[in-house]
Structure 1
Amino acid sequence: MSNDFYMKFYVQEKLRHRGLLAYEWLLELGRRQGLRGGSAFRAIAGFGRHHRLREEHFFELAGEVPIEVGFLVTDEEGQKLIETISAEKLSLFYIRIPVDAGLTRT
């Protein structure tokens, strides 16, 4: 059993930070901090703290749907990630879930 966590951050698709889309900036931050990997997933619909439902219907809502950015982290890596994001004055919702992670072998 590992002591890893899956951290998920949610950003609006068109949100920018330091000249990059926020999900790109988060992935680059994870890479720079030496995390083992990260992924971004585009939602087809969702709502957040303001309870406004956003759905993708062709192109009329381009940039409005949520993006989930996830990383597999240790406790220390997750804390460093949150501290760095907070220092950047970003207010992002996140979820931290304990996971059992490993590799399969054939």
Structure 2
Amino acid sequence: MKGFQITFFAEQEHRHDHTPMGDWLLQFAKDNGALGGSLMGAATGFGSAGKMHSTHFFELAQQPVAVTVSATEEVAERLLAAIALEPVTVFYIQVPMVYGRIGKATPPALAGDATDAGD
């Protein structure tokens, strides 16, 4: 099947209301029908302004985070349109993908979760 992989980039300190941006984006994507998603923290990164952001032992606020979600074309369009209406600004990359399941094992009871690999 075909769809899109969308990766959003933020810093740990960025928030939507009182929720960390990464957590909000992941839940928002789930609530809007994404097939699956992951929130990952990075040690170091830089943005379009060229400023380095890194995780420090006592200060995690500038930790770069990435939220990667998989979605059908329809859901990807709807998700990006919905985020555009929110009081946030977030950089993202959207790339076409092919997705599916492979292997001989009987798949687990999926209940709509595309990220349950290894269950």
TM-score by length of 2: 0.80
Q: Is the 8 A contact 2:12 2:62 kept in 1?
A: yes
Are 2:35 and 2:72, in contact at CA under 8 Å, matched by a contact in 1?
A: no
Which structure has more relative contact order (CA 8 Å, sep 6+)? It is 1
| TM superposition shift of 1:89 | 2.6
Paired position in structure 1 for 2:40: 41
Q: Equivalents in 2 of 1:11, 1:55: separation in Å?
A: 12
SS at match of 1:14: coil
Per-residue Cα deviation, 1:34-60 (whole angstroms, up to 9, x for no partner):
22211101011100011111222322x
Question: Which sections of structure 1, spanning at least 5 residues, go unmatched?
Answer: none
TM-score by length of 1: 0.89
Structure (1 or 2) with the larger CA radius of gyration: 2
Aligned residue identity for 1:69? V
Aligned residue runs from structure 1 range 1-106, under 5 A: 2-59=1-58, 61-106=59-104
Comparing 40-49 and 27-36, the one that deviates more:
27-36
Instruction: Tell me how large the CA RMSD over aligned residues is.
Output: 1.3
